[in-house]
Structures are given as C-alpha cells and as structure tokens.
Structure 1
C-alpha cells in the first residue's frame, strides 16, 4: 500500500523495526511532560495550603491524557511505516501538540486549562482527520472513523471542562472524558455498524512496539534520575541528604532491574507468540501505564526524603514513598502475567511487604521509610536473581 509519492503506508518485513530518530525526538517531549507532572506533585506535597489528594487526582488526569496521545502514536507507528511522509507528518503534529500540552501542565487546572483541553482535542481529532484525508482512506478506511467517533464523544467534556471556572466541575468533566477515551482504547473503539477493531489487528511490528514500551519506561526512570539530581544539587550535601541521594539512586537501579528481569526484556517474543497480538499489545500498554505512573510518583518520593530526610513524615507523603513503588509492582505483576501467564511469588510478596509498612512508617522519618521501601525492592530483585540461577531462561508463553 503506497501513498502518492510511492512510499508504503503499511509496514512489511522490509520495514526497519528500530524506532526512527523522529520517534525518539517525540519522546523528548514526553520526558519534559513527565518532569512537569512531577513538579506539580512536588508542590502539592510540600505546600501546606494545597490539597494533596486533589493534586494527585489532577496530575493523574493530565498523565492519562498525555499517555493516551503517546499510546495511539506508538500503536500507529507499529502498524504503519514510520518512514512514510504522511505518518511522519502525524508524528510532527503530535510533537507540537504534546509540547503545548506539556507547557500547560503546571497550570492545567487553572489559567492554562483551556489551552490544555483545546490542544488535546485538536490534536486527537486533527491528526485522525489529516490521516484519513491525506491517505485517501488507506490502508483501512473504517479505522479512522472508529477512532474519530470516540474522540468526538469525549471532546465536549474536555473543552467544557477547560472553559469552566470551577475546579471541581472541571475535574468531574475531565474524568468522564478520560473514561470515554480509555474505554475506546481498551475495547478497540467499538462503533455503531462498524464494530470494534484494534490498531494492527492484521499485523503488528512486535519488535518495534516492544522497544517503544521499553524506551518509554526508561524515559520515566530518566525523569526520576532528573528529580534525584535536581533535589540533591539544591541541598546542603549534608550526610543525611547524601544518604537519601544514594538511596534514591539504588532504588532507581532496582526498579530498572525488576522491570527487565525477565518479562520486560522479552516483550517482542511474547507478541510474536501471542494468539491475539493486538489484544496483548493493548493490555501491555495499560501495564506500562501503571508502572510509569508508579515511577513518576516514586520520583516524587525521592525528592521528599532527599530534601527532608529526618523531618516529620506527613501521612500524605506515604502516597509517594510507598504508593509509587506499589503501583510499579502492580503494573509489573500484570506484565509478567501477560508475558508468561503466571505471577512470581516475589511480586506478590513485595506488594504484601509494602502493605505491611503502611501502619509502621508514619512513626519513622522519611529517610527510614525510603530505606524500608528500598529493602523491599532489593528483596524482589534478589528473588529474581535466585530464580534465574535455578532455572533455565524462560520462553514467553503469553496469556492471550
């Protein structure tokens, strides 16, 4: 299937599997977006007049909106040829739109709400309409209609939410919009008369899609490194803050280790062996979404115990210090089931250990709480290492 300049629209065996430089360029925008979300959360946790839990909810809505933009783009470039000019134009549109949304994030529930919402709606609808027109309905004339149907459903909630002055009403409207968007994503955009159809249902570039998920998770870890470095470079470099800095770095390495052992490193093999690769790719997207949200929240916890290692530990801080790693392990557990149709006891044990820390950590300082979490992560990583020594390398056997 070729466009008017003779370039392919659909991928084939000759299409390169590695991410293009333009796709990696797009990822830089999302690095910036994650730093803005982290900055919002840090302010919510550290300023007394802020409602921390409302701030977390707002940051989650913004994160989900950005993740939806990235996910649709990645699925598209794992189904379509990213070197085709039409596809490259869509990626550039996404880059500009996502950057505009990112700069609006710090005040997206205030003065920049309309900018965030209108940019999101314009981007999501605009790139589908452009692809449908520029591609002359190829390669699938019905798929853009399905996606457009769901984006049009959610658009009024995004736009009206961005224009109202009441933050509570805005949050409710944007929550409805997110639910609509993710229902469409999860179910393959079911549409009257046309039914449902996920992107890449006929063929999907497993190696490319797997690499893109892995790259975004590394982006999230890189954002956590950014938070750690920024927090420590602005500190007094006293022994307690230095201990917090080292502890945060060790914890980040452990998150990396837990992800890539073993499921995170064989995503392409699981997609290749899947009976329904498009469905598995959808579930993998949600597992990575949970893990990345957990990493962002964990990075906020790093900032808290680096800057205030021995101070009072507010109960709300446990949402970041304990909740972030717990979210990561939940997503990682789901991914393991998707890849191997099983769940390691170490993952379940890690989650239970974090749960047991909840009633204990309010009585200790932030640094001690961070150290306890690091020990839990070390235990999970250690169990993985022991399992690898006792058993031969495992072949993916996806659940779907």
Structure 2
C-alpha cells in the first residue's frame, strides 16, 4: 500500500513535467532551467522515498508540492494558447486543493499518514484521469496543436526504465540468494516473464504512436496513452517485487500477496494494454481478455502450490499469449512479418 501511494506522486511528477516539456520547446533556455530545477528537487524527493513514512515525510511533501505547484505556476507565465492556459489554471486549482491534505499527512503518525496521503493521491489521480474538470465543464481539445509524438517517445523511454527495473530487482535478489537449482530456475522465470511483457508492449507501442500522430484530438489520445502507461508500470512494479520474493524463497508456499503481485501485476499490465487497444480499434483483443481470465484461474490454483510453481504458471500463461499474438501477426502478414493489428 505504501509503495502504491508513493508511486502515484512519483509518476505524476514525471508525467506533468514531460507534458510541460512537450508543450514548451525543450531546447528553449527557460525550459531547460525548469527541467534542471525539477531534477534537483526530484533528486531529494527520490532520496526521501524510502523514509517517507518515517522521518523524511516533510522532505517528500516539500519537494513534491514544490515541483508540482512551482512547475504548473511557471507554465502559466509562458506563451500558452488559450486552451492550454486554461488547462494549467485548472491543474493548479486541483493541485492547490490537495496540497493541504499532503501537508496534513506529513504531520500525523505513519499509520494515519498512509490513509491521508492515500486520499490525496486518489484525488490527484482522479484529476489527472479526468483532465482536471471544473464546474462540470470540460475543455474541448479537438484539433488542438500538440506534439504527441514527442510525448510518446518520452513514454517509451520511461517504460524502458521500468522494464529495466523488473530485471534489476530480481537481479539484486539473485546476487544475495544461494546458488541452487531452484534459484537459477526462479531467476530464469523472472527474466522470461519480463521478456514476455516487453514483447507485448513493444508490439502495441507502434500502434499507439500511430494513433496519437493521426488522431484528430492528439491531446486526448496522448492523455489516454499516459493513463494506460500508469497502470502498465504499476503492474511491472508488482511483478518485479513478486519475482524477487520467489527468488528469495522459491520453495515456500505461495501466499495471497505473492500471487497478487505475480498474476495481479501481469493482469494489470494486460488490462491496460487491452484497454488502450480497444480505444484505438473499437474492440478489445480477445486474446488479452482471455489471458486475464486464465491468470485469474491460475491465481486460485497457485495458492495450493509453492512460490516457484506459481511463478512458472504465470510465466507459462504470458509466453502462451506471446506465441498466440506472434502466430496471428505472422499469419496476417503476406510477407511473414508482423502487422500492426492487435
């Protein structure tokens, strides 16, 4: 729960800064200064993460709010078009409304802090998901100019970092685990599962890029892509943590928490991917939905097995989906190369 509450503001800092840099020429000296200031504050925010629920709560809140409020206010001083200026005004209103809640969370005990910050993160997430509406009015962004291709490239790079983390986290666990057959098998399974998700994402990523670049409403298409990325990375974080647990104790009985991280993290990744492909094509890919259903069944059965068997079952489902999509793409392409359909 603490990881989720801290993940949401961390993602928000990256996403809002990337959005601002997309709107404002990143080569402009003012934009560079803004990014440098955000990087400096973000450094201390990252340092405080591991102790945010202990003695570093005020550092976390001060840097987080400083970045969010400061960058948004700065954007209002730039030469934005009326649509984006109104958007940042609304964003600032939402962020200002939740700031007292974040501050209050830093002032209470760590147990209560989780609840207070959870509420603040949920409100911020709602604002992000709905594009910060005010007074039941939404901005119309059809045909507005927006460099969606640049934002998609930033999403791609951020996803690569997250995928790298799904390799590094199990790698750290492998470095401290005894060299046994079960350790080697669990490490191989962790890598195979990550590789499967990597293939699934980058098979759909060109579709997302094309959709954003050709959309009449590039802002809306970009926003949906970012919302999907939030869920995808959350799933990857859960999967990486689950893989590390399996490597540490492969022979232990699978727990509910472990199964939720392995199967639930994978399912969240697939649901976010399926949801976005449905936005693009109007129908949800059946293979993805079927895989989520199979993962749910596997989750129930895995509770009666060891952690290693649970990992094996989840990876088998993921590699099965990869095989199905690869065969489908090959069959649909006259030349034998994958096509862009899901």
TM-score, length basis structure 2? 0.91
Name the residue aligned to 2:292: 351
Matched, 1:125 2:69: yes
Matched, 1:171 2:119: no
CA distance in 2, matches of 1:339, 1:83: 32
Matched, 1:225 2:167: yes
Q: How much does 1:70 deviate?
A: 1.0
Moved more, 263-272 or 284-293: 263-272
Q: C-alpha root-mean-square deviation of aligned residues, in Å?
A: 2.2
1:301 aligned residue (236, 242, 251): 242
- Relative to structure 1, the CA distance from residue 256 to residue 395 in structure 2 (aligned partners, 3 Å threshold; closer, same or farther) is closer
- Relative to structure 1, the CA distance from residue 215 to residue 338 in structure 2 (aligned partners, 3 Å threshold; closer, same or farther) is farther
CA distance in 1, matches of 2:182, 2:39: 41
CA distance in 1, matches of 2:279, 2:21: 22
Moved more, 320-329 or 92-101: 92-101
Q: Deviations over 1:188-238 (max 9, x none)?
A: 223469x54489972122321221112111111100111121111112221
Matched, 1:101 2:45: yes
Name the residue aligned to 1:368: 309
CA distance in 1, matches of 2:184, 2:104: 47
Matched, 1:260 2:208: no
Q: How much does 1:335 deviate?
A: 2.0
CA distance in 1, matches of 2:236, 2:339: 26
- The structure with the greater share of residues assigned to helix is 2
Q: Deviations over 1:234-270 (max 9, x none)?
A: 1222111011111111111111011112x22232210
* Paired positions, count: 336
Matches within 5 A, 1:237-386: 237-261=179-203, 263-386=204-327
CA distance in 2, matches of 1:73, 1:199: 20
Matches within 5 A, 1:10-89: 57-89=1-33
Name the residue aligned to 2:130: 187
Q: How much does 1:296 deviate?
A: 0.7
Q: How much does 1:97 deviate?
A: 2.2
What SS does the corresponding residue of 2:303 show, helix, strand or coil?
helix
What SS does the corresponding residue of 2:322 show, helix, strand or coil?
helix
What SS does the corresponding residue of 1:322 show, helix, strand or coil?
helix
Q: Which runs of 5+ in 2 are unaligned?
A: none
In 1, are the aligned partners of 2:142 and 2:217 still within 8 Å (CA)?
no
What SS does the corresponding residue of 2:275 show, helix, strand or coil?
helix
CA distance in 2, matches of 1:308, 1:131: 49
In 2, are the aligned partners of 1:118 and 1:162 still within 8 Å (CA)?
no
- Relative to structure 1, the CA distance from residue 188 to residue 159 in structure 2 (aligned partners, 3 Å threshold; closer, same or farther) is same
Q: How much does 1:341 deviate?
A: 2.4
CA distance in 2, matches of 1:199, 1:367: 49
Q: How much does 1:394 deviate?
A: 5.0
In 1, are the aligned partners of 2:193 and 2:315 still within 8 Å (CA)?
yes
Q: Deviations over 1:286-312 (max 9, x none)?
A: 111111000011001110111211123
Q: How much does 1:81 deviate?
A: 0.9
